[in-house]
Every structure is written in C-alpha cells, then in structure tokens.
Amino acid sequence: MKFGLFYEMFVPSADPEAEARIVRNTVDQIVHADKHGFDYVWLSEHHFLQGFSHMSAPEVIFGAAAYQTDRIRFGFGLALTPPAYNHPVRVAEKVSMLDCLSGGRVDLGCGRSTTPAELYGFGLDPDESRGQWSEGLEAVAHLLAEENVEFDGRYVTIPRRTVVPRPVQKPHPPLWVGGVGPGDAERAAKKGLGMLFFAHRADYEVLTASTAAYHENIDKAEPICGMVNNQTAGFVNGLVSYDRDEVRQLAARKTVEHTFNGSTHRLAGWPAGEPPNSYAHLRSGENAWVNEAIAMDRATAEDFMTEGGFVMAGNPDDCAPFLDAFQKSGVDQVIIHMQMGDMPHDRIMESIEIMGGELIPHYR
C-alpha cells in the first residue's frame, strides 16, 4: 500500500502573518515527507474560501518542492477542470511543465468543486458543472497525449494547437477523479480513471463497497486516450505522536475546526438558501449532520471524532488498525490529511517522521 499526504491549506483569520508562513511550511513538509517514505502529496485547488483553503495555485507549491525532492509524486487533488474555472490549455500547460520539472512525477486528479463561492464566483451554473468537468477533462487528456489537437465542445472550442512543453509521462500523466461512494467509483472505472475516495470519515464498509464497484468495472473501461489508471486511494484525517492523549485531543479539536469551516462553505451561500438538485448530496448525510452536531455541541463532537472514525490519532499502535482496515478494503493508497485546521508545523513534521519510521514500512 502506498502513502500520501493531503493539503487544503487552512489559514486562521486571527493571525495575519500566518498565510505566508503556512505556504512555506507546506513546502517544507512535502520535502520532509519525501525523505520519510511517503509516495504522494495531493493538493486541492480552491478559490475564495477564506480560512478553510488558501490553495489557489497548487502548481506553485509543487514547483517549489520539485527540485528539493527525489521520489514523491505530485497529485492535483483536485484540479478544477470545468472550463469556467480553468481553460483546458492552461491545465495541460501547467501539468506538462511540472511533469518536466519533476522528471515525470505528476498525477492529475480532477473535480468540479462543491461550494457556491467558487461556482458562482466563476459564473458557473451548478447544474452544468458535471458536464463541464467531463468535457474539460476530455480536452485536457487529448492536449496532454496528442499534438495538433482540435476540440469542438459544448463549453470550449480549441483550434488545432499543440501544447508545449510536452509531458514526460506518455501518453499523459495518470488521471484521477474524486468522489465518495460506489456510484462515483463505477463512473470513474468506466472512464479508466483512478478513484480518490474523499469522505469525511473512514467508513470501511462504504470504502470496501466502493473499491468492489471500481474493480467490477475497471476491466470494461473506455479511457479517453487509451490509458487506464487502475488505482484507488482512501482518505483519513490523521496525526501520530508518542504523547497519546495530547495528540488525540489536538487532532480531534483541529478536525472539528477544519470540518465545520469546510461544511459551512459548502452549505451556506446558495441563492435559494440550499444546494440545487445537482448538489443534493450536500443537504443530507454526513455533510449536513456533522455540521449540525458541531454547531450544537462542539465538545461532544470533538470526542466523537476519534471514536467515530473521523480522525486517526494517537501513537503508532492507535493508528495501525486504521491502516490495516484500509489495506483490507483493497485500496492502493491511503491519503492522510495532517494539516487540518491550523495544525502546528512541528506536530505535522513529527507525525510525518513517525509515520515513515514506524508505520509505512509494515505496509510495503
């Protein structure tokens, strides 16, 4: 099983000097992870989400880390491929440039975003977002894999052009998509995409059902440019330290802070007062009740984080059962989010080092 780190770059509003420091700390943590056995780092593109995510230009962070690392792979997790956000040519150019700079260590995960601030901020109709995502991804894949590409779609038209530089990986870097359930897994597999299971908590029954749905359909894949990326990855908030009780309390508190901030961005700001049908999943399930539980009783919610599978925290013995379950569920990679809330830099560096020394070697 492979191991990755995940970042959204939470910045506390109370500290005006935190933003630049956290940007630099993120690069240092990626370099540290490369030295301690991590295989991937995933950065999620977001816009306008003050506090929750200041990761508006992942490729800049990746570029700073590329020349300081040897083996870790750089995953866009997720790049926003609807043309309203990013023209496919610009996505392909950034991915290709980074692939050259890193010596072929780029993976491209894609998505459509789930917040009204981003959707309406870029003038994107939520009901068109899935179609825009699919068309944008198709155009990007062709631009990466082929020369003299001409594309005539519903949302974007590109005259015959060749993107330069050309990517190192052929026909193109591995492509992924984000989602949470079996339906998403089935759609990903049929397109030949790797599946990133981004969920609030490590629900292993759901994860096992999703990986099964993925593997049942991957052999029937019809990839855009002939390349199947047969990989799955599961997500968990996590922090490891030897001071067990303190780190569990810290991780629970920061997970609540991060989760509540993110849920607020996803649920607030819709013109009709609630998400439209194309984002109906935000109105129910974990997205809704987690936000309500935190708002009603934050202390109880913090206690529930470590007991309910929302955060993997404690010493190595506490964390091993989480990783065992990921491995048994059949995922190829576990992605750990350590920078939840404004987690102190030294805690993340310590956690990376302990993970690399005491846990990762047991799952190779």
Q: What is the pLDDT of residues 111-157, one digit of tens each?
A: 999 999 999 999 999 999 999 999 999 999 999 999 999 999 999 99
End-to-end CA distance of the chain: 6
Secondary-structure percent of the chain, ordered helix, strand, coil, rounded to 5: 50, 15, 35
Q: Report pLDDT for 252.
A: 93
pLDDT tens, position by position, 255-284: 999 988 998 899 899 998 989 988 887 876
Check pLDDT > 80 for residue 16.
no
How many CB atoms sit inside 10 A of residue 361's CB? 9
- Residue 27 corresponds to which tokens in the numbers above? 């690069």
Task: Find out whether 239 and 250 touch, Cβ atoms under 8 Å.
Answer: yes
d(CA 333, CA 200): 17
CA distances from 11 to 41, 55, 89, 173, 248 (A): 19, 10, 30, 30, 21
Portion of the chain with pLDDT greater than 90, in percent: 81
Task: Find out whether 347 and 247 touch, Cβ atoms under 8 Å.
Answer: yes
Q: Rounded to an integer, what is the distance from CA 323 to the centroid of its chain? A: 18
Q: Report pLDDT for 294.
A: 76
Q: Which of 357, 329, 352 is nearest to 234 (CA)?
A: 329
Residue 180 identity (one-letter amino acid): V
Higher model confidence: residue 358 or residue 295?
Answer: 358
d(CA 129, CA 336): 28
Q: What residues contact residue 102 under an 8 Å CB cut-off, 6+ apart?
A: 62, 66, 69, 74
Higher model confidence: residue 245 or residue 306?
Answer: 245
Range scoring the smallest mean pLDDT among 7-16, 64-73, 219-228: 7-16
Q: Report pLDDT for 183.
A: 85
This prediction's pTM: 0.96
Q: Which of 259, 244, 243 is nearest to 340 (CA)?
A: 259
pLDDT tens, position by position, 312-353: 999 999 999 999 999 999 999 999 999 999 999 999 999 999
Q: Rounded to an integer, what is the distance from CA 31 to the centroid of its chain? A: 18
